[in-house]
Amino acid sequence: MKFRHGVQGVKLDQQKELSLKHKIKNLPMADELPLKPNFNLNGKKDYNYILNAAQKSQIVDEFDGIPLDKKLKKLRGLKPNMIVACCFDEDPWTTSAMAVLREYTAEVISGLEYAAKACGIKERKIAVATKEEAKFIKSINSEAELILAGDRYPARVLLKKKLYSQNIKAFYIGAQACLALDSAVKEGKVQQDTVVTVAGRGVERWSNVKVPLGTELKTVLKFCGVSDKTKMIITGSSLTGKAVLDLTEPVTPSTRCIIAIKKAKKDISYPCIGCEKCASACVRSIVPWKILKVMKNKKPDPLMLTNVQKCIGCQACSVVCPSGIDLAEVVKKAADLKKSGDFE
């Protein structure tokens, strides 16, 4: 018999209010750094012009790290039904995409139109997280066509699945990439700065900061008042990001947040109690508790590891497990075992 799970994904405690209280701040030392020169392009603003502008301005999409011109060329070949500007953050501590949409609504909308023109797609929508956010954006600028993504983690995958079940093939473009594309096409500017959220208990002032690309992390943290008792600094995402040891690392377009943690998570783990929370949290139909049981054998049978190669590494299963077991690691090991072919 085959059964369907209920609602997928995990509901996480959102920590977004403090960093959205104030507008996006500019880093004070930004005026001293040398600006990259603008470029000039002539001709009508058709798709060739936009693709050239995207290439010359070296824009990188902040959600997946792919350069924008490559992405637009690929989308031009694939011809999806809809292009969606991803203006929500599935990570509970990050608010950079939401802040960019709130302050630069018109620029994001026009950047999205240029991107849609470059790929030859008619339908374009802006994705926001909740109804309240949608109301807020509509009150600022009523032209935007909005679509709701929900606040369960991982929201990006869940929205794509929902649209796919309605027979719409959709692809994402990041909010800051749209903004940079707009200024590249209109004024010929190269992408020079990015908005990062600085949050966490080790930081005094949680805020969104506009940082020139290449600034060291310690400069940004000092601007927001980092305390000396911080034990860990994390970039990227609080679930799938990485811990940084050297604070002279530069800020890149895909550093969407910098989180300073004072008290590390305790490393105690209990045995599996069979509560099935991991199976309902998984978005890719993997059953992590079964994988855990199979991998405990000396010679795990790869036929019993169903669907492990589909794992996207969102860590929803590890977060929701009451026993604190690192299930994402177990599934990754199972996928490596299956791929290696190292079994009779």
Chain residues in the site for another protein (CB under 8 A): 1-5, 8, 12-13, 92, 226-234, 238-241, 243-245, 247, 259, 261, 264-265, 268, 270-277, 279, 285, 287, 289, 293, 301, 303-304, 306-307, 315, 318-324, 326, 328-329
Nearer to another protein, 48 or 227 (CB): 227
* Rounded Cα–Cα distance for residues 337 and 305 (Å): 10
Phi first, then psi, for residue 25 (nearest 5°) are -95, 155
CB-based contacts of 238, cutoff 8 Å, min separation 6: 91, 92, 93, 94, 257, 259
* Rounded Cα–Cα distance for residues 3 and 6 (Å): 10
Nearer to another protein, 190 or 232 (CB): 232
Do residues 67 and 60 touch, judged by C-beta distance below 8 A? yes
Task: Give Cα separations from 32 to 37, 71, 78, 147, 212 (angstroms).
Answer: 15, 33, 43, 40, 11
Nearer to another protein, 134 or 232 (CB): 232
CB of 342 to another protein, least distance (A): 19
Q: Which two tokens stand for residue 276?
A: 């099935």
* Rounded Cα–Cα distance for residues 321 and 272 (Å): 9
Nearer to another protein, 8 or 176 (CB): 8
* Rounded Cα–Cα distance for residues 341 and 344 (Å): 8
Nearer to another protein, 262 or 339 (CB): 262
Tell me whether strands 257-261 and 232-235 are parallel, antiparallel or unpaired.
antiparallel
CB of 156 to another protein, least distance (A): 17
Nearer to another protein, 99 or 234 (CB): 234
CB of 239 to another protein, least distance (A): 5
Nearer to another protein, 185 or 286 (CB): 286
CB of 131 to another protein, least distance (A): 23
CB of 121 to another protein, least distance (A): 28
CB-based contacts of 17, cutoff 8 Å, min separation 6: none
CB of 275 to another protein, least distance (A): 5
Nearer to another protein, 183 or 238 (CB): 238
Taking the alpha carbons at both ends of the chain, their separation in whole angstroms is 30
CB of 234 to another protein, least distance (A): 6
* Rounded Cα–Cα distance for residues 184 and 196 (Å): 20
Q: Nearest-5° angle of CA 281, CA 287, CA 293? A: 130
* Rounded Cα–Cα distance for residues 94 and 259 (Å): 9
CB of 138 to another protein, least distance (A): 31
